[in-house]
Amino acid sequence: MKHYFTLLSHELRMLLVSSSTYIAATAFLAFMGFIFTDILNQYSKAPQETSPAHVFFELFWLPVFFMVPLLTMKCLAEERRLGTLETLLTTPVTTTEVVLGKYSASYLLYLTLWGSTGGFFYILKRFSGDMRFLDPGPLVGGYLFIAISGLLFIAVGVFASSLSRNQAVAGILCFSMLFALIIGARFLGDAGFLGRDGLQTVKDAVDYAQVLSHRNDFARGVVDARQLLFYVSGTVLALIFSILGVEAKLLHN
């Protein structure tokens, strides 16, 4: 892990000088701003039962679907397409270091983007002067969920990027995997055929992997170790597959 920090700082610098980062950040903040404005509009029309933060984080999957592929599709696919992966891997760095460096940089950017939405709540507090809108429970729970689930989402994106040298393919692959993970698991959980006796273990597994219900738990302030384990083990698995993906491509390119 000697070169991890060299690679990480290199990746961060590359993200900071790249215009696509700023375009993605602007698009993300504009999109989240619209959602937030819309939520506030509804609150101004009629009193609601839940706090704005609760509704805001309920829609987390919308930006995840387009932000995560955008942030991660480039990382390994582009390096392979340009051939710079070859120059990188002929220095004394390991594939693990390369993948982890890229993963960490994308994850930090993801966190920074989400963190900047904190400004919305600050503005709300500043101008409404009403602390009721800032229920700290859902707010902290929501950000904690974003940070923990982001580990897995970004890892899935890096994995998708390790499979192709075409950014577009990597992006679509990442989108599909995230869709299957978040929405697909929900559909599967509602499906009637899983209610049969013999499929009980499968149903348990699907119920365990419900990202959307994990979010509700976090928002209510319930941080379950099993859910943490789900994201952390999923992340580790996706990263191991990414490393294998990069190395397998070397063997067969």
Partner 1 sequence: MSDPPIAIEVSRLVKTYGGVTAVGDISFSVARGEIIGFLGPNGAGKSTTMRILTGYLPATSGSVRICGVPVATQAEEVKRFIGYMPENNPLPEEMRVSEYMYFRGRLKEVPRRKLGSRIDEVLEVCDLKRVRHKIIGQLSKGYRQRVGIAEAILAEPPVIIMDEPTIGLDPHQILIVRDLIASLRGRMTVIISSHILPEIEVTCDRVLIINQGRVVAQGTPADLRREIFGHSSYELQLAGDGETLATLLATVDPTLQITAQGEPDADGFRQVTLRTDRDDELGELLLRALLAMNMRVRALSRAQPTLEDVFLAATRRSWDAVAPPKPAARPESRGQKTEK
Binding site for partner 1 (CB under 8 A): 2-3, 6-7, 10, 13-14, 17-18, 82-84, 86-94, 250-252
Nearer to partner 1, 9 or 200 (CB): 9
Q: For residues 96 and 3, what is the distance between their CA atoms, to the nearest angstrom? A: 10
Task: Report in angstroms how near the CB of residue 86 gets to partner 1 at its nearest.
Answer: 5
Task: Report in angstroms how near the CB of residue 92 gets to partner 1 at its nearest.
Answer: 5
Q: For residues 186 and 157, what is the distance between their CA atoms, to the nearest angstrom? A: 20
Nearer to partner 1, 17 or 225 (CB): 17
Distances (CA, A) of 115 to 68, 120, 238: 15, 10, 24
Residue with tokens 């384990």: 229
Nearer to partner 1, 96 or 213 (CB): 96
Nearer to partner 1, 44 or 90 (CB): 90
Residue from 221, 194, 220 nearest 209 by CA = 194
Task: Report in angstroms how near the CB of residue 14 gets to partner 1 at its nearest.
Answer: 6
Residue from 215, 218, 210, 202 nearest 186 by CA = 210
Task: Report in angstroms how near the CB of residue 40 gets to partner 1 at its nearest.
Answer: 39
